[in-house]
Amino acid sequence: MRTAERREARLFSDEVVVERVRNGERALFEVLMRRYNQRIYRVARAIVRDDGEAEDVMQDAYVRAYANLDQFAGRASFATWLTKIAVHEALARTRRRGRFVDIEETMPTLASDARNPEERASDRELGAALETAVDTLPDAFRAVFMLRDVEGLTTAETAEVLGINEETVKTRLHRARIALRGQLLSRATELLPEAFSFGASRCDRVVAAVLARIDG
């Protein structure tokens, strides 16, 4: 898609873009990917805890969403529908590998195993320290925290995306915040918009890979 076309398409609502993609303007799907790459990366990364695998989740989620656009009925927002697809894909991967632990069986702790010198040096950077702290949360606490406090979804939207009730969202968010309490949380609040960022080059890579899969 040319730069001018992309600039014009950015003004379209999700619903308009979806309808035009359904009508054959496949290239416009790029607009949706670039619009939601940051959110989809963050929620996938929160679940799988691996940068590379999070990108794989993103690609699979986008390809699945594209293939099933006719099933998007507009009952929820497109963003919620897409995020839910990504969550399901990420959870399926962790369950296949036996990594998704029932969070009710264990309470979160920020205590970690001994860190090697390289990791300790990285942790001195405040942004890295925040991401490390978030990574220590139990899986479902981390997903709720990422969606609510980092991405800014409402309680209802988070419940819809994760397939849980709103009271569970509130409880898990409360426990996640307790785990991140004190100075780290106060410092993290200022950094949340920058945490788990998905830069332009990575965005380009995912978009190109998804478009190649769609064309194939």
Give 156-213 as a DSSP string.
HHHHHHHT--HHHHHHHHHHHHHHTTTHHHHHHHHHGGGTT---HHHHHHHHHHHHHH
Give pLDDT tens digits for 108-131.
433 344 444 444 444 455 667 778
- Is there a contact between 69 and 21 (Cβ–Cβ < 8 Å)? yes
Which has the closest alpha carbon to 13: 83, 70, 79? 79
- 30 CB-contact burial (10 Å; exposed 0-12 / middle 13-18 / buried 19+): buried
Q: Give the closest residue to 154 by CA, choosing from 100, 83, 102.
A: 83
pTM above 0.85, yes or no: no
User: What total of structural domains would you count in the chain?
Assistant: 1
Rounded to 5 degrees, what are φ and ψ at 99? -100, -15
* Confidence (pLDDT) at 184: 67
| Enclosing domain of residue 115 | 3-215
Q: Report, as ranges of residue numbers, the positions in the chain whose pLDDT lies below 70.
A: 1-9, 99-127, 182-192, 194-195
Q: What is the CATH number of the domain that holds 207?
A: 1.10.1740.10
